């Protein structure tokens, strides 16, 4: 079954379900995760512009990027997790990890109502491998199921486990939502958390255009094979694990300033 066919099957019940509002159903109908020449071209341009902005016009330091590169080449499904402070965190940061080919870029969860609200928006985010999820819809919804299937197929999926941008100024994350833990339980992927600091200066909340001349640090944690015990834990225990791992990365980030 192709990616597009799988998405159609996954989203079919949600499109017709009375539990979704008409706006949500319309947004989900616009999800077309197929690779086309247009989509590949858009992805390539976005990745290249993002790399120019982050690595030429701003200064971005990557600590232990080799951990991502090894995991990404492994052939296993890869789930990356990161803190979320700016609407530009993605695509600006994940674009720096890969060259720009559509197949090697990540799938990422995006808010259905915000990012699939119109045909034009849907065209851009389909090209960028955005997966529409319904905020407040819980872990048993089609977007989460689709990301699980991509992990099982050996793809890279990136999520922000807080579920939204934090407004905190001390580099500390808010509480984590259970969606990432459900993906770990059901897909049993490689899991790689990373923490970044400085993106709020590149594009602050409410800002429209990225700034230049800023310094950003991206710090990767250890890659965890969730088949070796983590996926067998409860949802609550996996969430606790995630919060502990990010606590360590946050401590390292704060100690380096």
**Rounded distance between C-alpha atoms, residue 118 and residue 120, angstroms:** 5
- What integer pLDDT is reported at residue 16 of this predicted model? 46
Mean pLDDT split into 10-residue runs, the chain, 257 residues:
54 55 92 82 93 97 98 97 94 94 94 94 93 91 95 97 75 84 98 95 87 97 98 98 95 88
- What integer pLDDT is reported at residue 180 of this predicted model? 97
- What integer pLDDT is reported at residue 197 of this predicted model? 93
- What integer pLDDT is reported at residue 90 of this predicted model? 96
- What integer pLDDT is reported at residue 34 of this predicted model? 74
Our count of domains for the chain comes to: 1
- What integer pLDDT is reported at residue 205 of this predicted model? 78
Q: Which domain holds residue 38?
A: 3-255
CATH number at residue 224: 3.40.1130.10
- What integer pLDDT is reported at residue 15 of this predicted model? 45
């Amino acid at each position: 079954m192709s990616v597009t066919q799988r998405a159609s099957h996954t989203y079919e019940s949600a499109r017709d379900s009375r539990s979704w509002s008409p706006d949500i159903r319309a947004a989900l109908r616009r999800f077309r995760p197929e690779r086309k020449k247009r989509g590949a071209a858009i992805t390539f341009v976005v990745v290249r512009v993002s790399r120019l902005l982050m690595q030429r016009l701003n200064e971005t330091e990557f600590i232990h990027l080799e951990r991502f590169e090894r995991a990404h080449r492994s052939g296993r499904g890869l789930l990356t997790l990161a803190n979320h402070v700016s609407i530009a965190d993605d695509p600006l940061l994940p674009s720096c990890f890969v060259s720009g080919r559509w197949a090697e870029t990540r799938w990422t969860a995006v808010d259905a109502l915000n990012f699939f609200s119109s045909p034009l928006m849907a065209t851009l985010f389909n090209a960028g491998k955005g997966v529409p999820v319904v905020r407040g819809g819980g872990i048993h919804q089609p977007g989460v199921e689709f990301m699980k299937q991509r992990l099982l197929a050996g793809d890279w999926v990136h999520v922000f486990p807080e579920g939204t941008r934090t407004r905190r100024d001390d580099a500390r994350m808010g509480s984590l939502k259970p969606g990432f833990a459900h993906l770990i339980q059901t897909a049993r992927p490689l899991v790689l958390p990373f923490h970044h600091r400085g993106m709020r200066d590149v594009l602050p909340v409410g800002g429209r255009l990225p700034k230049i001349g800023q310094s950003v640090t991206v710090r990767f944690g250890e890659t965890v094979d969730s088949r070796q015990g983590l996926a067998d834990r409860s949802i609550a225990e996996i969430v606790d694990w995630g919060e502990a791992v990010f606590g360590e990365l946050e401590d390292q980030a704060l100690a380096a300033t």
